[in-house]
């Protein structure tokens, strides 16, 4: 449900009155459904700056006729910049005059949309502007800018086979629970989602379901029109695959055959996406060759952690 700080792609989709644009956003969400969880804040700009609080004031007490002793709170200035993602889709108009031509056009548009969704989903976690200046920084890079206590190191905890998962399940789940507590302590509220690679999601389910004591910590719940797995009552979303058909949160996400999970509290004041405007779809334009129509889709966006304690990364799991 949309609220003031939780407008998602699905909410924006309901306001979209252009059929082609609506279909493209639907295809995007079908390819990367977890994006519907992440709130979207529209800025109307490609870059900007703001100020965020880094500490609360320290307040004291006093005796009669004495002054209060206080230490002021601190803030820091931050800057953000959005990255442009999109594609040109060329449609040979000859196919539109044939039986099934519209379906062929739809297939080409859907293929481009699926590729765009996979690329943005990959960069959401793995993006690094130092490597690709055109991309935004993903969570792996952004976590280097928040307090160190929001990164928990599993130090190569062995979860690479059934026996190891059974042996180390309690340790693994306690690390996850510690990450949940760090977010809750820092933001005053429960996390909204745990992002995990597809293989890591299976490991977490096996760890929780491995014995009677912990089996109740893992469940399957109806969430709007989808069934989702939950751990400690928090939805666990598989991040899927990128354009190269490798897992976005791969077994070597951390390097040296280690992987991470990301525990997030979502909202305009926590972790969210910034966008200049909704994903835009241009009108088909006839090219100079007179046989090709070109369609442009474009989205200016970037992830942003506004509250330093909104995301906790638990890294260093060995699942290979």
pLDDT (0 to 100) of residue 192: 95
The pLDDT of residue 193 is 96
Are 251 and 202 in contact by the 8 Å Cβ rule? The answer is: no
Give pLDDT, residue 4: 45
Third-level CATH fold of 9-55+72-139+272-305: Major capsid protein gp5 fold (3.30.2400)
CA-wise closest residue to 48 among 276, 272, 273, 271 = 276
pLDDT at 23: 79
Cβ(209)–Cβ(220) below 8 Å: no
- What is the per-residue pLDDT for 130? 94
CB 247 within 8 A of CB 238: no
**How far, rounded to the nearest angstrom, does the alpha carbon of residue 20 sit from its chain's CA centroid?**
25
Helix, strand, coil share (%) of the chain residues, nearest 5:
35, 30, 35
Per-residue pLDDT of the chain (320 residues; tens, 9 = 90+): 444 456 787 777 777 777 777 778 888 888 888 888 999 999 999 998 877 777 777 778 888 988 888 888 777 777 889 999 998 988 887 776 777 667 777 788 888 888 889 999 999 999 999 999 999 999 999 999 999 999 999 999 999 999 999 999 999 999 999 999 999 999 999 999 999 999 999 999 999 988 667 777 898 887 767 778 999 999 999 999 998 889 999 999 998 899 999 999 999 999 999 999 888 888 888 888 888 889 899 999 999 999 999 999 999 999 98
Question: Does an H or E element contain 90, and which?
Answer: strand 83-92
CATH 3.30.1930 in the chain, residues?
148-268+308-318
Sorted by sequence, the CB contacts under 8 Å of residue 296 that are 6+ apart come out as 86, 87, 88, 89, 281, 282
Q: Which of 316, 315, 307 is nearest to 146 (CA)?
A: 307
Within the chain, all domains assigned CATH 3.30.2400.10 are found at 9-55+72-139+272-305
CATH 3.30.1930 fits 148-268+308-318, yes or no: yes
- 197 touches 250 (CB < 8 A): yes
pLDDT at position 101 is 67
């Amino acid at each position: 449900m949309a609220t003031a700080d939780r407008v998602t792609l699905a909410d924006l989709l309901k306001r979209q009155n252009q059929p082609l644009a609506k279909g493209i956003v639907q295809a995007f969400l079908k390819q990367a459904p977890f994006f519907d969880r992440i709130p979207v804040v529209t800025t109307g700009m490609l870059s900007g700056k703001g100020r965020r609080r880094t500490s609360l004031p320290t307040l004291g007490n006093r005796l009669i006729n004495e002054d209060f002793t206080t230490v002021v709170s601190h803030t820091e200035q931050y800057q953000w910049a959005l990255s442009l993602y999109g594609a040109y889709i060329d449609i040979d108009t000859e196919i539109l005059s044939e039986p099934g031509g519209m379906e062929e056009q739809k297939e080409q548009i859907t293929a481009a949309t699926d590729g765009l969704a996979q690329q943005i989903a990959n960069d959401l976690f793995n993006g690094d502007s130092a490597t690709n200046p055109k991309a935004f920084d993903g969570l792996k890079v952004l976590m280097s800018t928040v307090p160190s206590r929001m990164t928990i190191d599993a130090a190569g905890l062995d979860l690479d086979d059934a026996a190891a998962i059974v042996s180390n399940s309690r340790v693994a789940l306690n690390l996850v629970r510690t990450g949940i507590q760090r977010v809750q302590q820092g933001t005053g509220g429960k996390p909204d989602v745990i992002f995990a690679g597809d293989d890591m999601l299976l490991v977490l389910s096996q760890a929780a379901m491995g014995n009677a004591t912990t089996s109740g910590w893992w469940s399957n719940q109806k969430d709007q029109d989808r069934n989702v797995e939950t751990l400690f009552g928090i939805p666990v979303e598989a991040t899927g695959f990128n354009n190269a058909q490798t897992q976005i949160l791969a077994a070597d996400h951390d390097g040296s055959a280690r992987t991470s999970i990301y525990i997030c509290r979502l909202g305009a004041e926590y972790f969210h996406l910034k966008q200049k405007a909704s994903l835009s779809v241009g009108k088909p334009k006839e090219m100079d060759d007179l046989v090709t129509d070109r369609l442009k889709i474009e989205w200016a966006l970037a992830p942003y952690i506004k509250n330093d304690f909104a995301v906790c990364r638990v890294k260093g799991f060995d699942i290979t």
